[in-house]
């Protein structure tokens, strides 16, 4: 299995929508395929410890390989990765027959072929309420900009000498750091980029440098150093900076040009855990699989056992329902939303109606007079002219006209413009399809163009219908800040409910992931610093990784679950205009679109109460999911007997949100434990904003704390009301613990499904 990078606009600001493929055999190797093999620990009773040498482990793993592979050269070729921390097991190239033969061996647990899938700022810190002045000290609760923390990214490599990874003003890495820098020649790491390793050797690539720049972008978003005058084609100009600009970066390269093999992801997580990262950021995703069958979930469990926070992209499968990846409750699952910046290109129709779209290419000397509009599809000459794909306009007279092109048809936005330009067109109006809604992208077009929302595209079509000789002009308005409908959930952001665990609300959170400016390997316009504006849940994930580093910097003793709780219970659900956050369709976003809402970093630094969890708390939950002992062992890396463990329903996990199902007349009670991290002496009272059709009772409804770290339990009973019919099969609400001084509001989102 290989994972996709969850970028949607790469290189030329394209929206890539990757679809999964069936497992494909490794090419040119006969019928050899890479298997991921799980086995017992080396010898009964002998625990795998840091003292047990790699050689011991390797010889134990090698004993599972069939004798035919044991000539030494051959063996080296067959063993792809031998895992040390992350799981007890290895990845090896085997034939199906050889893999079958391993099943007979003592200590064998399971083996399967790795799945195969192809590859999937200037303004965001400000947008998130974080000030840009690194010298300033007016943060209410100092988080030191993530100083002393290490963010590890599992990604496509990094451009080591990009100004975003300059180490000016950076202290050396903390003493615990054990990572490596595997560049060669003159290329080196520094106090910002403290580690860079490659796990893509089997892709023929041994260096952690990068071919596609995705990793430079995500690393820059999480922890990039400030770079003044960052812009693309003069737009979005400002100081580019990561969310935790003083945190260190470690890059673990797993992706080549097209994909990220599963065996390499696991090897990279193995190394990152051993190297001592504090936060792991994975802007890639596979598909929705059972947690024991999902290497990211398995690796992430091992990470939280070592106290490492794991932040992952929710996926770019939206707006379809249940399109999430990376849903495990020990992972932070991050959806993507817009920021309040637009790079405006206004279409002025012949009837003077103005429609605001976007374009990065904003020629200054453009003669913006009215030109005829042509809808090439309506000519009936070529049906594929709708999408302006290569060759589709050759028999249509578009000379000197503004051409209507629709998004989609497997043709990228800039390519559409090239087809228009090649055929003599003067400009392009790029229209969203219904699913794209209000999400628009500023492409680096080759001609005057504007990308319009679906609604504005309809207005153009209505105008075309209303007149014999429709005309339009495109006027460039530059970079504007303050869009009131931001943040808005992007159409591509994957949606819940979770397939693997509907009793846990996912996604957890949304964060900036649309049209984000950050580090790039090359200068898009050959003129300015190498930055690019791209979109995807690949972009939102590292923003949250940066936020996690800020929180951990302020609270070094907090568990990954505590950090997550702080982020979720302080999220907001209102946009800049004071209305409910909407989706790409400009309708109120539901909890399945945005989870708890939009991240609010400053509030998350001081949440008042937290819902904490230790790794072992997930065992009763996993038993409750119905996983058998073998499957659970693959996740938790030790023997578990569900017959003797308590087993709990999913919604009983001490998660900061609730996701429950109620049949008619149902009444369900769950308990939660909160820990006081606010003021030592404080009283909290509970208010429930009950979901429609549900009664919510909380006992006790008041909690008194006398000291910090004190814990308290409460129970909450959800009762489906008989006489009030909800308007839909899902209903949502909130449970809020407020402190007496109004200092804190600790909000838990409630999602109810009526069954
Ligand atoms: C970007 O902003 C900087 C600082 O304000 C300014 O000096 C520079 O000329 C700007 N660049 C562009 C392309 O607007
Ligand atoms: C129609 O468009 C396709 C490209 O989508 C092109 O290959 C084909 O030649 C075009 N046909 C005509 C009649 O223009
Ligand atoms: C344009 O008008 C025709 C005829 O009145 C109608 O069938 C068509 O649906 C209209 N198209 C749009 C986009 O409104
Ligand atoms: C930038 O330079 C490269 C290589 O010289 C060239 O191919 C590309 O077209 C240039 N891009 C722009 C936007 O000028
Ligand atoms: C979105 O919906 C609101 C409320 O219905 C409306 O006031 C607003 O104009 C809409 N925004 C856009 C951009 O259509
Ligand atoms: C445990 O569950 C896995 C996955 O469903 C299955 O393949 C395996 O056979 C089961 N093992 C046992 C011992 O039941
Ligand atoms: C909360 O409940 C758990 C489980 O019943 C119990 O072990 C713990 O002591 C309780 N904590 C408090 C503070 O009451
Ligand atoms: C709610 O009902 C809709 C329409 O019948 C269905 O598509 C959807 O899956 C249901 N949602 C849930 C969470 O069950």
Tens of pLDDT, residue by residue over 338-394, are 999 999 999 999 999 999 999 999 998 666 789 999 999 999 999 999 999 999 999
Residue 46 has pLDDT above 90, yes or no: no
Cβ(392) – ligand 2 distance below 6 Å: yes
Cβ(630) – ligand 6 distance below 6 Å: yes
Instruction: State the pLDDT at residue 50.
Output: 46
Residue 121 has pLDDT above 60, yes or no: no
Averaged confidence pLDDT in the chain: 89
Pocket test for ligand 2, best of 380, 384, 388, 398 (most atoms within 8 A of CB): 384
> What count of Cα atoms within 13 Å lies in the side-chain half-sphere of residue 622?
28
Cβ(502) – ligand 8 distance below 6 Å: no
103 CA → ligand 6 middle, Å = 14
User: Which ranges of 570-617 would DSSP assign to H, the alpha helix?
Assistant: 591-594, 601-604
Residue 492 has pLDDT above 60, yes or no: yes
- In terms of C-beta density within 10 A (0-12 exposed, 13-18 middle, 19 or more buried), how is residue 274 classed? middle
Catalytic residue flag (residue 155): yes
Cβ(225) – ligand 6 distance below 6 Å: no
Q: Residue written as tokens 């820059």?
A: 220
As assigned by CATH, the class of the 124-339+487-602 domain is: alpha beta
pLDDT, average across residues 431-446:
94
Instruction: State the pLDDT at residue 3.
Output: 62
3-state SS, residue 94: strand
Percent pLDDT > 70 in the chain is: 88
- Architecture, CATH, for domain 341-481: 3-Layer(bba) Sandwich (3.50)
Instruction: State the pLDDT at residue 526.
Output: 78
Pocket test for ligand 8, best of 495, 591, 729 (most atoms within 8 A of CB): 729
Convert the pLDDT of each residue in 381-400 to its tens digit: 999 999 999 999 999 999 99
Domain ranges of the chain: 24-113, 124-339+487-602, 341-481, 654-754
Query: Which ligand sits closest to the CA of 463?
Result: 3
Instruction: State the pLDDT at residue 210.
Output: 82
Residue 175 has pLDDT above 70, yes or no: yes
* Contact (Cβ atoms closer than 8 angstroms) between residue 733 and residue 690: yes
3-state SS record for 307-350: CCEEEEECCCCCCCCCCCCCCCCCCEEEEEECCCEEEEEEEEEC
Convert the pLDDT of each residue in 272-318 to its tens digit: 999 999 999 999 987 899 999 999 999 999 999 999 999 999 999 99
Which two three-digit tokens encode residue 238?
């400002």
Contact residues for 160 (Cβ-Cβ < 8 A; gap 6+): 183, 187, 188, 189, 193, 196, 209
711 CA → ligand 7 middle, Å = 8
CA-to-CA distance for 78 and 76, rounded, in angstroms? 5
Q: Residue written as tokens 């599809």?
A: 377
Whole-model pTM: value is 0.92
Instruction: State the pLDDT at residue 24.
Output: 33
Residue 422 has pLDDT above 90, yes or no: yes
CA-to-CA distance for 605 and 616, rounded, in angstroms? 26
Which two three-digit tokens encode residue 209?
């440098």
Atom of ligand 7 nearest to the CA of 673: 1
Cβ(231) – ligand 1 distance below 6 Å: yes
642 CA → ligand 6 middle, Å = 14
Instruction: State the pLDDT at residue 751.
Output: 98
Convert the pLDDT of each residue in 674-692 to its tens digit: 999 999 999 999 999 999 9
Residue 596 has pLDDT above 50, yes or no: yes
Atom of ligand 8 nearest to the CA of 502: 13
382 CA → ligand 2 middle, Å = 6
- In terms of C-beta density within 10 A (0-12 exposed, 13-18 middle, 19 or more buried), how is residue 745 classed? middle
Cβ(245) – ligand 8 distance below 6 Å: no
Cβ(235) – ligand 1 distance below 6 Å: no
Residue 11 has pLDDT above 50, yes or no: no
3-state SS, residue 75: helix
316 CA → ligand 8 middle, Å = 21
pLDDT, average across residues 243-256:
94
As assigned by CATH, the class of the 654-754 domain is: mainly beta
Q: Provide the pLDDT confidence category of residue 1 given band limits of 50, 70 and 90.
A: low
Which two three-digit tokens encode residue 749?
């989102």
Residue 576 has pLDDT above 90, yes or no: yes
Catalytic residue flag (residue 523): no
Residue bearing the bigger pLDDT, 100 or 135: 100
56 CA → ligand 5 middle, Å = 65
Atom of ligand 8 nearest to the CA of 729: 1
Alpha-carbon distance values, 461 to 355, 377, 471, 491 (Å): 12, 12, 12, 22
Cβ(499) – ligand 3 distance below 6 Å: no
For Cα atoms 555, 558, 559, give the angle at the middle one, nearest 5 degrees.
155
CA-to-CA distance for 50 and 45, rounded, in angstroms? 15
Query: Which ligand sits closest to the CA of 703?
Result: 7
Instruction: State the pLDDT at residue 137.
Output: 41
Convert the pLDDT of each residue in 64-82 to its tens digit: 988 766 565 666 678 899 9
Catalytic residue flag (residue 258): no
Instruction: State the pLDDT at residue 259.
Output: 75
The pairing of beta strand 108-113 with beta strand 33-39: antiparallel
Query: Which ligand sits closest to the CA of 755?
Result: 8
Which among 155, 259, 293, 294 is annotated as catalytic?
Answer: 155
Pocket of ligand 4 (CB under 6 A): 525-526
The pairing of beta strand 33-39 with beta strand 89-94: antiparallel
């Amino acid at each position: 299995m290989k994972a996709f990078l969850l970028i949607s606009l790469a290189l030329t600001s394209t929206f890539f929508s990757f679809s999964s493929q069936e497992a494909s055999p490794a090419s040119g190797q006969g019928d050899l395929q890479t298997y991921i093999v799980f086995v017992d620990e080396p010898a009964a009773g002998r625990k795998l410890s840091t003292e047990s040498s790699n050689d011991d482990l390797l010889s134990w793993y090698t004993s599972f390989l069939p004798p035919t592979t044991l000539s030494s050269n051959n063996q080296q070729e067959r063993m792809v990765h031998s895992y040390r921390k992350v799981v007890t097991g290895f990845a090896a190239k085997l034939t199906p027959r050889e893999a079958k033969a391993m099943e007979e061996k003592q200590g064998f647990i399971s083996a399967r072929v790795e799945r195969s899938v192809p590859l999937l700022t200037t303004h965001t810190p400000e947008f998130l309420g974080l000030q840009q002045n690194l010298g300033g000290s007016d943060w209410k609760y100092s988080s030191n900009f993530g100083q002393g923390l290490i963010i590890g990214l599992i990604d496509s490599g990094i451009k080591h000498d990009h100004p975003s990874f300059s180490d000016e003003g950076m202290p050396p890495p903390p003493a615990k750091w054990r990572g490596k820098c595997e560049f060669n020649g003159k290329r080196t790491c520094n106090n910002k980029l403290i580690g860079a390793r490659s796990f893509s050797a089997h892709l023929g690539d041994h260096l952690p440098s990068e071919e596609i720049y995705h990793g430079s972008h995500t690393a820059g978003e999480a922890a990039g150093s400030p770079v003044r005058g960052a812009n693309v084609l003069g737009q979005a100009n400002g100081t580019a900076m990561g969310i935790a600009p003083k945190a260190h970066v470690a890059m673990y390269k797993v992706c080549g040009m097209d994909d990220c093999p599963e065996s390499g992801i696991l090897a990279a997580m193995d190394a990152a855990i051993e190297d001592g990262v504090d936060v792991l950021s994975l802007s890639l995703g596979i598909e929705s699989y059972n947690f024991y069958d999902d290497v990211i979930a398995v690796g992430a469990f091992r990470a939280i056992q070592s106290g490492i926070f794991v932040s992952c992209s929710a996926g770019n499968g939206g707006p379809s329902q249940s399109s999430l990846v990376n849903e495990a409750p020990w992972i932070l699952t991050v959806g993507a939303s817009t920021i309040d910046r637009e790079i405006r290109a206004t279409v002025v129709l012949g009837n003077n109606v103005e429609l605001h779209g976007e374009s990065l290419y904003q020629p200054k000397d453009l003669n913006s007079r009215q030109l005829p509009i042509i809808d090439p599809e309506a000519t009936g000459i070529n049906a594929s002219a709708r999408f302006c794909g290569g060759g589709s306009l050759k028999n249509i007279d578009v000379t000197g006209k503004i051409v209507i092109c629709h998004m989609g048809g497997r043709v990228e936005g800039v390519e559409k413009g090239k087809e228009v330009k090649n055929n003599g067109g003067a400009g392009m109006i790029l229209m969203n399809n219904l699913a794209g809604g209000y999400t628009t992208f500023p492409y680096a077009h080759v001609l005057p163009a504007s990308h319009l929302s679906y609604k504005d595209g309809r207005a153009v079509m209505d105008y075309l219908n209303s007149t014999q000789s429709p005309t339009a002009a495109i006027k460039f308005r530059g970079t504007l800040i303050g869009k009131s409908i931001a943040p808005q959930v992007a159409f591509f952001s994957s949606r819940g409910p979770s397939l693997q665990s509907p009793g846990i609300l996912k996604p957890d959170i949304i964060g900036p992931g649309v049209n984000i400016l950050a580090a790039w390997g090359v200068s898009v316009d050959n003129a300015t610093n190498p930055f690019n504006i791209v979109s995807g849940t690949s972009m939102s994930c590292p923003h949250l990784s940066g936020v996690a580093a800020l929180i951990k910097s302020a609270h070094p003793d907090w568990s990954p679950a505590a950090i997550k709780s702080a982020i979720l219970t302080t999220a907001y659900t209102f946009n800049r205009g004071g209305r409910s956050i909407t989706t790409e369709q400009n309708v109120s976003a539901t909890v399945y679109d945005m989870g708890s809402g939009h991240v609010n970093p400053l509030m998350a630094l001081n949440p008042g109460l937290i819902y904490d969890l230790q790794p072992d708390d997930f065992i009763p939950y996993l038993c409750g999911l119905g996983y058998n002992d073998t499957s659970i062992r693959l996740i938790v890396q030790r023997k578990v007997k569900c017959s003797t463990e308590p087993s709990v329903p999913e919604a009983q996990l001490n998660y900061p949100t609730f996701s429950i199902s109620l049949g008619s007349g149902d009444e369900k009670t769950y308990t939660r434990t909160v820990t006081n991290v606010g003021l030592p002496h404080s009283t909290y009272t509970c208010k429930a904003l009950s979901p429609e059709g549900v009664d919510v009772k909380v006992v006790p409804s008041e909690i008194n704390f006398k000291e910090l770290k004190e814990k308290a339990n409460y129970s909450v009973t959800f009762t489906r009301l008989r006489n009030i019919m909800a308007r839909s099969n899902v209903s949502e609400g909130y449970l809020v613990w407020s402190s007496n001084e109004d200092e804190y509001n600790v909000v838990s989102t409630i999602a109810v499904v009526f069954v």
